[in-house]
Amino acid sequence: MTIKQALDAAAVELKCSDSPRLDAEIMLAHVLKVERSYLFTHPELELSDDSLQCFQRYVARRAQSEPIAYLVGNKSFWDFELAVNSHVLVPRPETELLVETALELGAADEALRVADLGTGSGAIALALAKECPAWRLLAADISLEALEVARQNAEALNLINVEFVQGSWCEALGTGCYDMIVSNPPYIAPSDPHLIEGGLPFEPKLALQAADAGFAAFKSIADEARQHLRPGGWLLLEHGFEQQVQLKALLLELGYAAVSGHGDLASCDRLVVAQWNQAQTVASD
């Protein structure tokens, strides 16, 4: 079978995908260890039996909605590639809004202390560390497997201003005091039917689901962060569909100021930002 024939057959099989041809090209390029452009310039090249069988196995898995990022082992985020596996969420482009907003709030040339809670693959922490070498990042996750993925990504990007710590939300911060705390925590209610749709069944439930109608992690982080933010420090929380109004109300109730909501490029509510202006009573440097 030629490259073109293999791609044509795969595109027909990948009906679950919004971009079947692109998925097929990404997977075949991965199998052949070539750039996608090679497929376009060599459409009549015959595949070896081993390459064809490997590609067909990938196609079968993708046809069951397994995320293509898990199949090829990487995903683009910000301006770099991240290694990913089933221990971490697949980084979404919408999360870049959180990175952009954090960069707007913090001076790049100051030695700010920033914590990323629930770091997963390290996407947020590593983007901030890359853009602001003067910042000191702490990337925390309760999952040791996720932290190992994040560490490997930091090494691949040659980033030395990131520390990795295991822990649940703010308990990972110890007695540290931070200029900014950011998080894309789990926010989907366990009963939400979306959890059994598309590629979500393949992603770690620990990073997707939250009790209390999806607000358990928000409540823990928002409450505990008050003891770890410097006066004037910022809390940034990515959230899900129709959660912004309630999340803003929660932050105001907890004493945060300058609470604002932000939408992504698709005009969907995606992020809440809040400032802590009161003196800490527990945390210290």
Q: Quick: pLDDT tens for 241-262.
A: 899 999 999 999 999 999 999 9
Which residues make Cβ contacts (< 8 Å) with residue 158, sequence separation at least 6?
none
Structure confidence at residue 255 (pLDDT): 97
The domain ranges of the chain are 3-64, 78-276
Domains 3-64 and 78-276 alike in fold: no
Amino acid at 27: M
The whole-number average pLDDT for the span 77-91 is 97
What's the Cα-to-Cα distance from 206 to each of 102, 118, 179, rounded to whole Å?
A: 25, 10, 27
Judge whether 252 and 232 are in contact, CB under 8 Å: no
Burial of 176 (0-12, 13-18, 19+ CB in 10 A): middle
Structure confidence at residue 92 (pLDDT): 95
Which architecture characterizes domain 78-276 according to CATH? 3-Layer(aba) Sandwich (3.40)
Query: Cα 164 vs. chain centroid, distance in angstroms?
Result: 16
Give per-residue pLDDT as tens, 54-63: 999 999 999 9
Give per-residue pLDDT as tens, 177-218: 999 999 999 999 999 998 999 999 999 999 999 999 999 999
Q: Residue 9's closest CA among 52, 71, 68? A: 52
Q: Residue 271's closest CA among 184, 179, 169? A: 184
- Three-class HEC string of the chain: CEHHHHHHHHHHHCCCCCCHHHHHHHHHHHHHCCCHHHHHHCCCCECCHHHHHHHHHHHHHHHCCCCHHHHHCEEEECCEEEECCCCCCCCCHHHHHHHHHHHHHCCCCCCCEEEEECCCCCHHHHHHHHHCCCCEEEEEECCHHHHHHHHHHHHHCCCCCEEEEECCHHHHHCCCCEEEEEECCCCECCCCHHHHCCCHHHCCHHHCECHHHHCHHHHHHHHHHCCCEEEEEEEEEECCCCCHHHHHHHHHHCCCEEEEEEECCCCCEEEEEEEECCCCCCCCC
Q: Over 50: is that where the pLDDT of 264 sits?
A: yes
Structure confidence at residue 268 (pLDDT): 92
Q: Over 70: is that where the pLDDT of 284 sits?
A: no
pLDDT category, 265, cuts 50, 70, 90?
Answer: confident
pLDDT category, 176, cuts 50, 70, 90?
Answer: confident
Structure confidence at residue 285 (pLDDT): 44
pLDDT category, 119, cuts 50, 70, 90?
Answer: very high
Determine whether domain 3-64 maps to CATH 3.40.50.1820: no
Q: Over 50: is that where the pLDDT of 282 sits?
A: no
How far apart are alpha carbons 13 and 215 in whole angstroms?
38
